[in-house]
């Protein structure tokens, strides 16, 4: 049986590094979800436009990012590569849906299991000496 830790999903920010600084995607409340969902919708609405300016794209990405991470500024988005912006977008989506927290928990559990698998017996003092 799998038991999900919903408390961990609600309380843990997701940290990421950009430009040498650690930023956090803060957990959002249900009422705040509208702003995030609207920002995602506005970003995706660009695909239906015939012409998009770089400024429009940056504004939409910034609206999304700033809804969950107040330390990233518009100029930061301007300076990102497309791969960085896309990675941040996916991290935000994963954080908002709880997927990033669940992955973080499973990674921690794997690390613990991996350490035990590599080190199945505790070391005893004086082991290997006669």
What predicted TM-score, i.e. pTM, was given to this entire model? 0.69
Q: Is residue 126 assigned to a domain?
A: no
Among 21, 23, 5, which residue's Cα sits nearest to residue 13? 23
Return the C-alpha torsion angle 66, 69, 74, 79, nearest 10: -140
**What residues contact 8, with CB distance under 8 A and at least 6 apart?**
101, 105
In which domain, by residue range, is 31 found?
9-118
Q: Give dist(CA 38, CA 88) in Å, integer.
A: 17
Instruction: Look at residue 72 in the predicted model and tell me its pLDDT.
Output: 95
Total of domains in the chain: 1
At 32 the pLDDT is: 85
Residue 63 within a domain: yes
Q: At what angle do helices 82-97 and 33-45 cross, to 10 degrees?
A: 140
Q: Is residue 41 part of a domain?
A: yes
Q: In a structure prediction context, what are the per-residue pLDDT tens digits for the chain, which is 130 residues long?
A: 666 677 766 567 889 999 999 999 988 888 888 889 999 999 999 988 889 899 999 999 999 999 999 999 999 999 999 999 999 999 999 888 877 665 555 555 554 444 444 433 333 444 444 4
3-state DSSP assignment of residue 130:
coil
| Residue 68 within any structural domain of the chain | yes
Q: Where are the alpha helices (DSSP H) in 12-53?
A: 33-45
Backbone angles phi, psi at 15, to 5 degrees: -95, 145
Q: Is 123 exposed, middle or buried (0-12, 13-18, 19+ CB in 10 A)?
A: exposed
Q: Is residue 19 part of a domain?
A: yes
Domain membership of residue 105 (yes or no) is yes
Tell me if 80 is assigned to some domain. yes
* pLDDT at position 23: 95
* Residue 26 lies inside a defined structural domain of this protein: yes
């Amino acid at each position: 049986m799998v038991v999900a830790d919903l408390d961990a999903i609600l309380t843990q920010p997701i940290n990421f590094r950009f430009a040498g600084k650690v930023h956090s995607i803060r957990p959002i409340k249900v009422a705040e979800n509208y702003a995030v969902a609207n920002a995602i919708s506005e970003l995706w609405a660009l695909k239906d436009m015939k012409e998009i300016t770089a400024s429009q794209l940056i504004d939409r990405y910034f609206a999304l990012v700033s809804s969950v991470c107040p330390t990233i500024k518009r100029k930061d988005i301007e300076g990102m590569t497309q791969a960085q912006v896309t990675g941040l977008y996916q991290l935000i989506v994963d954080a908002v849906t709880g997927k990033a927290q669940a992955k973080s928990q499973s990674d921690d559990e794997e690390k613990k299991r991996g350490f035990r698998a590599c080190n199945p017996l505790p070391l005893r003092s004086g082991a290997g000496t006669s």
